[in-house]
Structure 1
Amino acid sequence: MLAHPTLDRLTAMGLVGMARAFDELAANTEADSLTHPEWLALLLDREWGFRHDRKLSARLRFAKLRHQASPEDIDYRSARGLDRALLVKLVAGDWIGAHDNLVITGPTGVGKSWLACALGHKACRDDRSVLYQRVPKLFASLALARGDGRHERFLRKLGSVQLLILDDWGLEPLDALARHDLLEILEERYGRRSTIVTSQLPVTSWHQVIADPTYADAILDRLVHNAHRLDLDGDSMRRSKGNRPA
């Protein structure tokens, strides 16, 4: 960068985007034709863009999304029962503001996790906090946290994010501790935050996975009754697409 008192002050104040833009404009003779308001607008635009990108990067690091997915790459051509009109509404994100949930079901390989991560990526871009969790690993992590004193803090983290993605739900029945933890998470989130659940099993089979009628009724009441539904079908897309967009 060029040596300049204004540049030094911008850097010292943490206005990195403005400092970079100032340095580029000062070195560009064509910038001499710009008016003062145009200079200021360019500096502010670069600073806003720099801060937005930095915040987005931080949100994505926190989210730990399983797939690098975005709504712009969704494949609507594959025959899997994808409701395009509903998905367009989900991408807009109003359902998160309304604290609704989303359930994505279907056989393995039809893009459930990928779609959930695409919606999570869009939520991060909309300046919302997102966290992705695979359900089998989540309950194992909660069991470990219970033993080393991190359990309550972990539950608060799961309850506080604006969008929680619970992927691969229903691969195995829940034990008593997992049932209790799941109910606590959903109770904290109900009416306050949004949750995406993906599962190979239809919702009608979830009582069996929860393996306790009382807990099952309580959990499904907090998760399903205000949930949008994407019920997918068709052959696995992995066989023909590898890791390409879903």
Structure 2
Amino acid sequence: DFFTRFDLSEPEQQEKRLRSILDCDLLVLDDLFLSRSIPDAAGALLQTLVHQRYKLRRSVMVTSNRVVQDWGAYLGDNTMSSTILDRLMHHCHSLEFDGRSYRLKEAAETLARKTKAS
């Protein structure tokens, strides 16, 4: 959603938004690649954000359900994916979780309680 709104903004608005993202202490990219692909302009913007923040030594936290090996497919460009991952993974702390979704687990527990109460 952010990338779409950014792309539709006037150039001076884009510069202002970009500056605020580059200047913040921590940029959180939550649920990156939630959809299976993003527009080319969004990929280029993501690359710019990650590259500029890397140069400025600013922190970026990314959450995603997608494995990094597939990022090239979601971006539609393996080179861009490699560039982004290179900067994200240099000096990074990577956490990988396996298991069922806590949302699905909670929903199943709620359904089980309702079934027992009936």
TM-score category of the 2 structures, normalised to the smaller one? 0.7 to 0.9
Residue 16 of structure 2 corresponds to 153
Distance 1:175 1:229, change over 3 A: same
1:207 aligned onto 2:75: no
Residue 229 of structure 1 corresponds to 94
Provide the C-alpha distance between the structure 1 equivalents of 2:104 and 2:78, rounded to a whole number of angstroms: 38
Residue 182 of structure 1 corresponds to 46
- Aligned-pair Cα RMSD in Å: 1.8
Provide the C-alpha distance between the structure 1 equivalents of 2:76 and 2:41, rounded to a whole number of angstroms: 12
Provide the C-alpha distance between the structure 2 equivalents of 1:241 and 1:168, rounded to a whole number of angstroms: 20
Provide the C-alpha distance between the structure 2 equivalents of 1:174 and 1:219, rounded to a whole number of angstroms: 14
Residue pair 2:40, 2:75 contacting (<8 A) in 1 also:
no
Provide the C-alpha distance between the structure 1 equivalents of 2:42 and 2:3, rounded to a whole number of angstroms: 6
Per-residue CA shift, 1:138-195, capped at 9, x if unaligned?
A: 21121122x3630011111111111110011112323221121111111210051001
TM-score (norm 2): 0.78
Question: What letter corresponds to residue 28 of structure 2 in structure 1?
Answer: I
Q: What are structure 1's unaligned runs of at least 5 residues?
A: 1-136
User: 5 Å matches for 1:127-166?
Assistant: 137-145=1-9, 147=10, 149-166=12-29
Residue pair 2:28, 2:62 contacting (<8 A) in 1 also:
yes
1:229 Cα deviation (Å)?
1.0
Q: What are structure 2's unaligned runs of at least 5 residues?
A: 108-118
Per-residue CA shift, 1:30-83, capped at 9, x if unaligned?
A: xxxxxxxxxxxxxxxxxxxxxxxxxxxxxxxxxxxxxxxxxxxxxxxxxxxxxx
Q: Highest CA radius of gyration, 1 or 2?
A: 1
Residue pair 1:159, 1:186 contacting (<8 A) in 2 also:
no
Residue 84 of structure 1 corresponds to none
User: 5 Å matches for 1:91-110?
Assistant: none
- 4+ aligned runs moved over 6 Å, structure 1: none
Equivalent of 2:58 in 179, 185, 193: 193
Provide the C-alpha distance between the structure 1 equivalents of 2:88 and 2:44, rounded to a whole number of angstroms: 14
Provide the C-alpha distance between the structure 2 equivalents of 1:233 and 1:217, rounded to a whole number of angstroms: 24
Query: Which structure dedicates a bigger proportion of its chain to strand?
Result: 1
1:241 Cα deviation (Å)?
3.6
For residue 98 of structure 2, give the secondary structure of its aligned residue in structure 1.
coil
Residue 110 of structure 2 corresponds to none
TM-score (norm 1): 0.40
